[in-house]
């Protein structure tokens, strides 16, 4: 704030309906800034009329704005990452055999040895695939999805060793153990169920895909206090950011790109068909990642809300001022604080002062595959996320796909008249897709739809 000359920020909308600054959910007040930046008009006023003009001029122009004003630039001196397989486990996911590996990506920290960054990821690949498989990278805790369990003989040895260790420490325990000869600390795997699979992972494996679970907390902490640590802190050697530098969303995307580098070395992975997925704040990160790294062939954007697909200019649910507040500012570039400014050197600024809008971020994925997923408020995918506004932005973004000879939602491009279709409507006939599922704040109910859609779009015949 001092660097930007900001003396006062506006408070964000409150989720408490009784609060003086309660979030607006009245559709009649939702569009105070109805005119959005035009996707296919250059900054100098020239219309974008060809695919070449989009790729060579308009796309770089939009990227420059998003990097400078919203998500931040990746510094040029980011150190390299060296990947290794830490451990491996043969597991079953949904009854199918898989090889799961814990990966560690060590970031060269010689420039600041006091800051360690070791990226954690779990790679899960079908064990019986006959050819390289497509893969979905997911922002999620990097854990074994279905850890293998000891067989009866292994369990008996572990149990005996544990009992012997306890008796050696406290001989009186021998009497207790002798009184309960059937008691076991460690039981055979057949008698103890392993932790439940994430149903999304099970669905991905069932479709013959691989999965990579990328732990964002090992790249950059999800709080402002961590900005002097993690990859952002490492590059700055523990100093604070400058206003144009990256926030956590961009840092998580950088980590995803480095994992994609590694996947390119694995012969089991069809690196031309790797997608990126996330829900909520990870949905924002998945969109940012796919928009700015064209090597990702597809993206599943789950319930991303403000800072994701939701338009900044919509006054419905979460607002720009929430993103510039103390609990979320670290996701964004420092420059983004300007747009929540009430008083400061540059004067009062609002969302309408942003030179870009969310539909233009989504459009940067074109002509690749983009699936926008939301749930319903009644099940917990709150109105806070603005499903209607996100649908409007998806409609507006479609112009990029049609310009590039691909298919959009097939519902026109006028975001001002676009009405959210009924829940369960499948708008899955183009490279840009939309579906609002019946569940809450998750994309699990849409995972099967996404996988079927993605396979169909690339003409993939699943292995049996």
- The residue that leads in pLDDT, 429 or 181, is 429
Question: What confidence tier does 136 reach under pLDDT thresholds 50, 70, 90?
Answer: very high
Question: Can you give the pLDDT at residue 189?
Answer: 61
Residues 6+ apart with CB under 8 A from 419: 388, 391
Question: Can you give the pLDDT at residue 193?
Answer: 46
Please classify residue 38 by burial: count the beta carbons closer than 10 Å to its beta carbon, then call 0-12 exposed, 13-18 middle and 19+ buried. Answer: middle
Looking at the predicted structure, is the pLDDT value of residue 130 above 80? yes
CA 231, CA 211: separation in Å to the nearest integer?
24
Please classify residue 211 by burial: count the beta carbons closer than 10 Å to its beta carbon, then call 0-12 exposed, 13-18 middle and 19+ buried. Answer: buried
* pLDDT (tens digit per residue) in 3-29: 999 999 999 999 999 999 999 999 999
* pLDDT (tens digit per residue) in 234-285: 999 999 999 999 999 999 999 999 999 999 999 999 999 999 999 999 999 9
Q: 444-458 and 199-206 are packed helices; what angle lies between their axes, rounded to 10 degrees?
A: 20
Question: Can you give the pLDDT at residue 148?
Answer: 76
Per the DSSP assignment, residues forming a β-bridge with 73 are 245
Looking at the predicted structure, is the pLDDT value of residue 431 above 90? yes
Count the Cβ atoms, other than its own, within 10 Å of residue 132.
16
* pLDDT (tens digit per residue) in 390-426: 999 999 999 999 999 999 999 999 999 999 999 999 9
Say whether 97 sits in a helix, a strand or coil.
Answer: strand
Question: Does the global pTM surpass 0.75?
Answer: yes
Question: What confidence tier does 463 reach under pLDDT thresholds 50, 70, 90?
Answer: low
Contact 40, 47 (CB under 8 A): yes
DSSP letters of 352-401?
A: GG-S--HHHHHHTTTTSEEEEEE--GGGT--GGG-HHHHHHHHHHHHHHH
Question: What confidence tier does 39 reach under pLDDT thresholds 50, 70, 90?
Answer: very high
Question: Can you give the pLDDT at residue 393?
Answer: 98
Rounded mean pLDDT of 141-157?
A: 84
Question: What confidence tier does 194 reach under pLDDT thresholds 50, 70, 90?
Answer: very low
CA gyration radius, the chain: 24
Q: What region, left, alpha or beta, does residue 325 occupy, with left being phi > 0 and alpha being psi -120 to 50 degrees?
A: beta
Residues 6+ apart with CB under 8 A from 68: 244, 333, 335
Question: Can you give the pLDDT at residue 186?
Answer: 77
């Amino acid at each position: 704030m001092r660097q930007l000359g900001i003396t006062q920020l506006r408070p964000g909308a409150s989720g408490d309906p009784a609060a003086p600054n309660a979030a607006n959910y009245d559709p009649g007040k939702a569009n105070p800034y109805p005119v959005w930046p035009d996707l296919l008009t250059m900054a100098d006023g020239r219309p974008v009329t060809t695919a070449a003009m989009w790729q060579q001029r308009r796309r770089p122009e939009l990227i420059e704005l998003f990097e400078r004003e919203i998500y931040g630039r990746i510094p040029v001196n980011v150190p390299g990452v060296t990947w290794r397989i830490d451990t491996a486990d043969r597991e079953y996911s949904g009854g199918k055999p898989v090889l799961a590996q814990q990966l560690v990506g060590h970031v060269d920290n010689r420039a600041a040895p006091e800051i360690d960054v070791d990226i954690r990821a779990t790679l899960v690949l079908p064990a019986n695939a006959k050819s390289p498989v497509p893969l979905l990278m997911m922002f999620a805790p990097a854990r074994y999805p279905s850890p293998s369990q000891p067989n009866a003989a292994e369990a008996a040895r572990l149990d005996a060793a544990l009992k012997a260790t306890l008796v050696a420490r406290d001989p009186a325990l021998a009497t207790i153990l002798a009184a309960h000869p059937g008691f076991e600390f460690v039981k055979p795997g057949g008698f103890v169920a392993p932790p439940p699979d994430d149903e999304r992972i099970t669905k991905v494996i069932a479709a013959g895909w691989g999965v990579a679970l990328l732990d964002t907390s090992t790249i950059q902490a999800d709080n402002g206090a961590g900005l002097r640590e993690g990859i952002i802190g490492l590059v700055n050697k523990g100093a604070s950011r400058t206003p144009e530098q990256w926030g956590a969303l961009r840092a998580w995307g950088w980590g995803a790109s480095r994992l994609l580098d590694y996947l390119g070395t694995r012969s089991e992975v069809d690196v031309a068909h790797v997608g990126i997925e996330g829900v909520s704040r990870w949905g924002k990160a998945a969109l940012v990642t796919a928009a700015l790294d064209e090597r990702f062939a597809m993206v599943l954007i789950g319930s991303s809300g403000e800072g994701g697909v939701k338009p900044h200019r919509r006054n419905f649910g979460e607002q720009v001022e929430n993103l510039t507040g103390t609990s979320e500012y670290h996701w964004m570039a420092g420059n983004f604080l300007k747009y929540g400014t009430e008083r400061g050197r540059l004067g009062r600024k609002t969302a309408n002062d942003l030179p870009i809008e969310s539909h233009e971020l989504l459009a940067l994925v074109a002509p690749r595959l983009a699936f926008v997923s939301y749930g319903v408020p009644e099940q917990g995918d709150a109105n806070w996320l603005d499903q209607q506004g996100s649908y409007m932005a998806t409609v507006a973004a479609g112009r990029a796909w049609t310009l590039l000879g691909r298919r959009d939602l097939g519902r026109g491009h006028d975001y001002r008249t676009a009405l959210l279709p009924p829940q369960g409507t499948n708008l899955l006939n183009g490279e840009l897709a939309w579906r609002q599922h019946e569940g809450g704040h998750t994309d699990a109910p849409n995972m099967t739809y996404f996988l079927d859609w993605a396979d169909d779009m690339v003409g993939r015949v699943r292995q049996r």
